[in-house]
Structure 1
Amino acid sequence: MTEFFKDLNRLSYDPDSTDLAFRHYNPDEVVAGKRMEDHLRFAVAYWHSFAWPGGDPFGGPTFDRPWFDESMQSARLKADVAFEMFDLLNVPFFCWHDADIRPEGDTFAESLRNFQEMVDYLGTKMEASKTKLLWGTANLFSHRRFMAGAATNPDPEIFAWSAATVKNCMDATHKLGGQNYVLWGGREGYETLLNTDLRRERQQAGRFLQMAVEYKHKIGFKGAILVEPKPQEPSKHQYDYDVATVYGFLKEFGLEGEVQMNIEQGHAILAGHSFEHELALAASLGILGSIDMNRNDYQSGWDTDQFPNNVPEVALAYYEVLKAGGFTTGGTNFDAKLRRQSLDPVDLIAGHAGAMDVCARGLKAAAAMLEDGTLEAMRAERYAGWDSAEGKALLDSDFATIAAQVESGGTPPEPRSGRQEILENIVNRFV
């Protein structure tokens, strides 16, 4: 054991505990025919938990971690602490960016050597742990070289650097047995049209994603390729704004059968949607892959990456996940970070434990709503007319034929209540 978590013990399920424990998350509890752990598939985000220093736009770092320097020794210590936390929380998965796990070198080759050495070190840690890799990804946004994007950069050299980075991150994900690979364009957007060629940048982004899919098949990676929508973060005009925008992009470049979505709660809100909307839309399009679970500050409106604490919101999200058949390679990644004033190691454990309990409550509520069946029955009743012979015939008809039928008819149709308040009351019985 390192010194960082030396005074903490592994958390257990104890609903009556007044100490740090799980009060709702019981990994072995069977919900809707499956263990809770297998439904939720929790993952810890390496970047927020171990790499983020606690800064914000108005102030510098507040966290003082013993591994906060650019050395391989500190990178190994960070990994040691990370796996200790994974064990304390008993989580099945974690996720990383390349820059989270290795120090930056003076050249690409040096950074790559550091990265590959740390990948091997993580592999050794994983051999002694139950925690596996949910997904890997590349940090193509923090360094100043990416200030104008990565795949969409106006400089070919940056595109090439980015492609080489993703190639090596995909190799590492494959080597560590990762179940997905995520591409998220933190700076794949623009600030002003005065210096932007929209058509050119879109073509670059499309070809970049095609290359990633081609390389997946070349190396025999069996996991899913996921794209994460990133509205307004940080560019106002992001090419990967929301699920609908990304799906149109996938269709344009022939990738709708190859790529799925990793959907974040905070990004859904920034796009002007609800989390459940983005999940339901992705499921209806057959591209729901995985989720990042967090929440925004609804007063500031920004993506503050806080741990979830709203059970009704979480329940509606998992309702859509369960309706879609649940996760396959995906899971629930906590893309969430401590507040700047939460300085102690125990805060990291408490933040995740509380979030896991919230998700457990939401999952159980979602499963109970589905088992009850009232919501789905009322939805089916609302659209029942389309299942009749007349309803089915409408979509195979044409305007002239339909108009003739309507013009020869009698009483005009009357609208029916959508029953929204009744439906909301039904949800409230479970949450």
Structure 2
Amino acid sequence: MSYVQPGGKRQKVREVRSENIDYFQGMEKVEYNNMATSTDTNSYRYYNCSERVHSRSMEEWLKYSLSFTEFRYNGSDIQGRPTFSRSWDDNTNTIDNHKRCLKAFYDFCMKLGIKYWTAFDTDLVPQTDNWDENKSNWDEIVEYINEMSQKSQMKLLWLTPDLHSHPKYISGAFTSNEASTFVQAATQIKKCLEVSQRLNAECFLLWPYREGYNAIFQTDVAREIKLFSKLLKITAEYKDRLNYKCQLLIMPYYSSSGKNYGSYGNLMWQPNGNWNGDVLNRYMWDITSCLYFLKFHNLDRYYKVCTPPGHHMYMAGVYNMFGGVTITNQFDPCDNKTITLMMKCVIDQGAAPPGGINLRLVPKRDCDLRELMTSQVTYIDALARGLRVACNVISEQVFVKHLQQRYASYYSGFGSRLLSSDVSIEECEDFYKKNQAHNEITCTKSEHYNMVFQRYLDTCDHV
């Protein structure tokens, strides 16, 4: 025992020294400067975290989080080897290397002024086949993260189990034909939930990436869907037994025709506009299939849905299932219209979704540290700009008045009964017969209001 104690003390000294390293030396913290020039990419022109807009701070509305997964990307792709040589990452599968990567990531987030972060469980600890070693690694990394979070006032927004990378999950994790794989996935989720609670994460995310079938003639689809719902249910039940007060999130395997909103290495957060083959064979491949699945299995009381910007997000909001937004490099930060509509959707909900806005930005293969930061600033500022425009649109109530006029027939007379009381189809027929002569086609004024909306976008710098 006398030999172990001095060794432990020396190890602590080394850790303290490594924590004093500034991995982004010479790079200032990104601050708000609304007078920043076009070439000043180290300032926010629109994002002022403490500024109150529409009764909340910008930080509260946007609730940004950065992805540790993308931060650890090494520059490799299917055609090329790793291109990055980061001072904090020696590419070893050791607990010390994971700690250094976390330290650098915390420094990075603090330079950007972002308080939340997200990760897969496999990002945080070395993966081994030894149960006791894995437990020891988790204990050590949880203690380290909690210490770092206390010093920096940063917080883990969500943790998610990696249920797609391990070879065992080649045919799915929730829906594998092998019972042993289902059990392995359940065990991994259980541990991940426990770690998430110890790290005081606000949410817990599940991403059913490989849940589907390749050939219908060799798949018991009914059985697999029951297994899928079973694992989602026992996950929610275990969270309740832990007395863990977090929001459960789920992210379907999204696809959007003509748009590709995200990829990481060979993993597609949203695959190319291909509506054939494996995309349609996913059990949860868009917002509609996800909401139906959750509702049918009575899981909608536990889970909310993470979406990309656009249609999926609007539909999740309508059904009160909006859990968060995922932004990737494939989403164009210059698409001011989509960004503004996205932020208007958030404001219409009354608050940021529990999962906030998660920035999953993969660095370009020739990216240095300055470029790494600039890519984040680009998206952070673009979304803040959209928030400012959305607040301006809402405060002037131009579109609210237009909507009231457009749906005026539902505010009085027979139209007011259609949603507020029981109306039979026979009554609809009688009303139509008596009033068909008065049916007139009214202009929607879409061109006018498209131009009005565009002018709001064009005048953002005056907001």
Does TM, scored on the shorter chain, surpass 0.5? Answer: yes
**CA–CA separation in structure 1 for the residues paired with 2:136 and 2:208:** 25
C-alpha distance 146-413 of structure 1, shift in aligned 2 (>3 A): same
Larger mean Cα displacement after TM superposition, 216-225 or 390-399: 390-399
Contact 1:307 1:334 in 2 (8 A): no
Residue aligning to 2:410: 386
Which residue among 327, 333, 351 is the counterpart of 2:352? Answer: 327
Residue aligning to 1:134: 157
Verify: 1:44 aligned to 2:66, yes or no: yes
**CA–CA separation in structure 2 for the residues paired with 1:311 and 1:388:** 37
Instruction: State how many pairs are aligned.
Output: 410
Q: CA deviation at 1:187?
A: 1.1
Contact 1:279 1:321 in 2 (8 A): no
Q: CA deviation at 1:31?
A: 0.9
Percent identity between matched residues is: 24
Residue aligning to 1:359: 383
C-alpha distance 371-408 of structure 1, shift in aligned 2 (>3 A): closer
SS at match of 1:362: helix
Residue aligning to 2:263: none
Where do residues 267-346 of structure 1 align in structure 2 (5 Å cutoff)? 275-296=309-330, 308-327=333-352, 329-342=354-367, 344-346=368-370
Deviations 1:368-406 (A, max 9, x none): 111111112212222221222301334522222322332
Residue aligning to 1:271: none
Q: CA deviation at 1:138?
A: 0.7
TM-score normalized by the length of structure 2: 0.84
Deviations 1:334-389 (A, max 9, x none): 022112222x1122211111111111101111111111111122122222212223
Verify: 1:86 aligned to 2:109, yes or no: yes
Q: CA deviation at 1:59?
A: 2.5
TM-score normalized by the length of structure 1: 0.90
Residue aligning to 1:252: 296
Q: CA deviation at 1:109?
A: 4.4
Which residue among 388, 392, 395 is the counterpart of 1:368? Answer: 392
C-alpha distance 140-364 of structure 1, shift in aligned 2 (>3 A): same
**CA–CA separation in structure 1 for the residues paired with 2:397 and 2:453:** 11
Residue aligning to 1:268: none
Q: CA deviation at 1:3?
A: 5.4
SS at match of 1:418: coil
Which residue among 170, 188, 192 is the counterpart of 2:193? Answer: 170
SS at match of 1:190: coil
**CA–CA separation in structure 1 for the residues paired with 2:436 and 2:306:** 50
Contact 1:93 1:133 in 2 (8 A): yes
Unaligned runs of 5+ in 1: 265-274, 297-305
**CA–CA separation in structure 2 for the residues paired with 1:390 and 1:330:** 42
Verify: 1:63 aligned to 2:84, yes or no: yes
C-alpha distance 408-226 of structure 1, shift in aligned 2 (>3 A): same
SS at match of 1:333: strand
Larger mean Cα displacement after TM superposition, 278-287 or 402-411: 402-411
**CA–CA separation in structure 2 for the residues paired with 1:324 and 1:333:** 18
Q: CA deviation at 1:100?
A: 0.7
Unaligned runs of 5+ in 2: 1-19, 256-267, 272-277, 458-463
**CA–CA separation in structure 2 for the residues paired with 1:258 and 1:37:** 26
Q: CA deviation at 1:125?
A: 0.6
Residue aligning to 1:300: none
**CA–CA separation in structure 2 for the residues paired with 1:361 and 1:218:** 42
Letter in 1 for 2:104: V
Residue aligning to 1:22: 44
Deviations 1:100-121 (A, max 9, x none): 1111113344334323321221
C-alpha distance 226-213 of structure 1, shift in aligned 2 (>3 A): same
Give the number of the structure whose alpha-carbon radius of gyration is greater: 2
Contact 2:41 2:374 in 1 (8 A): no
